[in-house]
Amino acid sequence: LKDVVLEGGDAFGRAHGGMKLFDYMGTDERFSKLFNQTGFTIAVVKKALEVYKGFEGVNVLVDVGGGVGNTLGVVTSKYPNIKGINFDLTCAL
């Protein structure tokens, strides 16, 4: 971490032989599941939806990189008229 702070660059890549985070997720199922379960805060999205009204009138919403679909689930639970499509890598689903 010290080297990345001083020199810049990708800390994850340095720690994993140059491999990018999302490439690594395809090689480690346990890491992928943990990343997808903890990389999201339902409370933050719910709070944002209290003031953001941009989904009103939307019929279809595609979440590209949506992981296990948590964000899309929160949005479609508030706006049940929206057809949600969750799209991500197989290792994230």
Q: What is the pTM of this model?
A: 0.59
Contact between 87 and 63 (Cβ < 8 Å): yes
Contact between 37 and 68 (Cβ < 8 Å): yes
Give the Cα separation of 81 and 33 in Å (integer).
Answer: 29
SS3 state of residue 73: helix
Contact between 49 and 74 (Cβ < 8 Å): yes
Contact between 87 and 66 (Cβ < 8 Å): yes
Residue range 33-89, pLDDT digits in tens: 877 776 556 778 888 999 999 999 999 999 998 888 888 999 999 999 999 999 987
